[in-house]
Structure 1
């Protein structure tokens, strides 16, 4: 009995160190949750600090032609009336992102208007006169060029001081939105009103929640209604938009959506809601190869060229073998636009492709 007890004690004393060693080996050598959260926080803070300098406010003023009409009788007594309250004719139209150190700003098509005078306000609260380099209603994008000091407007000289011109503007490098995955952290930076008033853009962070979202047909992204009277006239009404919960509200249009490397992966839009999806979501134009080609053309002041077939389709109702084809896959031509490549090729409504 005594020998059995001694053997049991020896076995227990041998097992306990081995069990403790095994338990220690199973605990990974990883930072605790607080350290991991602090590291993510530092990354987000650093990215915002590096990229917010490149987010600007865009404003425009309607250009008024001098009147040649004789003054009305009421105008002759205008000096006798109490002066009306001053009205600021300048309208803040959106945010933008500096994409070239020479002063090229990427923004929304809706933020600019041909014939108006445009201005760009940076986070250091300097205001620069700007001209439209190029604008493309199909992509909903536009590029503004900030004017150098010799051609600056009176507003720029009054705001910044005579002869004061800051070139080599800070830019945000382009990223690749096609590399994003659901759940990846992104940061939104915008709010042109805050930039104009106190030089402090608003920032928000969240995750990518979906891809290829369609803007609703009634959402105006280019002031260009189609034949049906709706605004389904951009690429984004076909399903291009990034969906994210890093939302800044309706004032975010033209703001930057960046990844944790500080790369521009999207241009935030004013799309408030996509049918069938979460209302709190935000939507951004993705920076991918297609958008990069469009942006490159706009930076050069060129019109963006698009491929055109000139035909609309509907699902094929006639099996391919009946139509003389070797496959059941295909579509039926619904409409052929006169003068289009499809019309010149001889396509007609009812053809199966």
Structure 2
């Protein structure tokens, strides 16, 4: 009798179990559909942000074509070949410059309405002529205002109207993992946009420039893309794209940009003085690691170990020597 009652009870609870399973299935389907919907919405919003940023920054990005004439061509320029006068029909016409001009293309960023443009020093270094092409296909000859090889920054100027300067951001506030866009003119194409993230900050010792505190990104930056802007999702320039590593001209997964806070200071000095004004100590130092602390018998890792001193430098005149440990300074 008890067994029979037990079977009856189980039989009576089955509809409840079926209902519960049905409810779980409905909830699961709802959650999956909601997740897909939110994912599509998020992707759509991110895509719209990319499009908006690209549209806003493109008018501020320029293509730079620099031309360097060989020394031989410069020497021959203006010289007349007497045989051309004697045998004008038998000799081909001399074409000075043909086959002796070296062209290099890069990118740049308009920084104000007066026509000042920031680019890389290596884009225009040694150039005899620089042509700037704007977003609307207008072309202008540019003059070199100043260059700073130590940071690989140069400033050009063009005489043009209706320019749209880029808006600067704050490179110090960048976070690793933050999405950025790189704009430039790789391989002769114009206004190419690539995306990536900030992979690291403050990378020194990359042998790209003398003063280094570089941003590392996985956004594709090829050889002709250098000098263009690296922008955040607010459309503000946070860096100037520079040489890729290794220096082969091909993108191999990592690229570098000069932080815009450094670029602004360098550009301001170049515009005002034609050169960059810097304080100079003449000392190379390195941080105190726990290993150095133990070897040197120091009480803490606070300070810096002097690695080398440049002769006749302010540091040498002050009596600093290689091997000294600086723990504090006055001033």
The one of 148, 153, 158 equivalent to 1:141 is 153
Cα deviation for residue 190 of structure 1 reads 0.7
Q: Structure 1 residues 309, 147: CA separation in 2 closer, same or farther (over 3 Å shift)?
A: same
Decide which moves more: 310-319 or 3-12. Answer: 3-12
Number of the residue aligned with 1:116: 128
Cα deviation for residue 327 of structure 1 reads 5.5
Give matches, 1:74-93, under 5 Å.
74-76=83-85, 79=88, 80-83=90-93, 87=98, 89=101, 91-93=103-105
Q: Structure 1 residues 21, 172: CA separation in 2 closer, same or farther (over 3 Å shift)?
A: same
Q: 1:53-94 CA distances to partner (integer Å, 9 max, x unpaired)?
A: 211111234578797986455454573323478848472341
Q: 1:253-303 CA distances to partner (integer Å, 9 max, x unpaired)?
A: 1112111221111211122338xxx9322221122x333322332343442
Cα deviation for residue 346 of structure 1 reads 1.9
Cα deviation for residue 131 of structure 1 reads 1.2
Decide which moves more: 39-48 or 19-28. Answer: 19-28
The one of 32, 38, 44 equivalent to 2:50 is 44
The one of 255, 278, 285 equivalent to 1:306 is 278
Q: Structure 1 residues 326, 257: CA separation in 2 closer, same or farther (over 3 Å shift)?
A: closer
2:128 and 2:243 map into 1 onto residues whose CA distance is: 22
The one of 223, 226, 230 equivalent to 1:257 is 230
Q: 1:81-131 CA distances to partner (integer Å, 9 max, x unpaired)?
A: 234788484723411011112211110011224672322111221111211
2:299 and 2:110 map into 1 onto residues whose CA distance is: 53
Number of the residue aligned with 1:190: 184
1:135 and 1:349 map into 2 onto residues whose CA distance is: 32
1:328 and 1:37 map into 2 onto residues whose CA distance is: 46
Decide which moves more: 20-29 or 31-40. Answer: 20-29
Number of the residue aligned with 1:339: 312
The one of 69, 90, 108 equivalent to 1:96 is 108
1:206 and 1:334 map into 2 onto residues whose CA distance is: 37
Number of the residue aligned with 2:268: 296
| Partners of 1:103 and 1:168 within 8 A in 2 | no
Number of the residue aligned with 1:203: 193
| Partners of 1:174 and 1:265 within 8 A in 2 | yes
1:329 and 1:5 map into 2 onto residues whose CA distance is: 75
Cα deviation for residue 5 of structure 1 reads 7.2
* TM-score for both structures, normalised by structure 1: 0.70
RMSD: 3.9
Q: Structure 1 residues 78, 41: CA separation in 2 closer, same or farther (over 3 Å shift)?
A: farther
Q: 1:191-211 CA distances to partner (integer Å, 9 max, x unpaired)?
A: 16636xxxx322212222222
Q: How many residues align?
A: 308
1:35 aligns with 2:45: no
Decide which moves more: 11-20 or 135-144. Answer: 11-20
Cα deviation for residue 332 of structure 1 reads 5.0
Give the gaps of 5 or more residues in structure 2.
Answer: 327-331
| Partners of 1:208 and 1:245 within 8 A in 2 | yes
Give the gaps of 5 or more residues in structure 1.
Answer: 149-166, 220-232
The one of 158, 166, 176 equivalent to 1:172 is 166
Number of the residue aligned with 2:210: 234
Give matches, 1:156-167, under 5 Å.
167=161
Cα deviation for residue 19 of structure 1 reads 6.5
| Partners of 2:121 and 2:152 within 8 A in 1 | yes
| Partners of 1:102 and 1:168 within 8 A in 2 | no
| Partners of 1:131 and 1:147 within 8 A in 2 | no
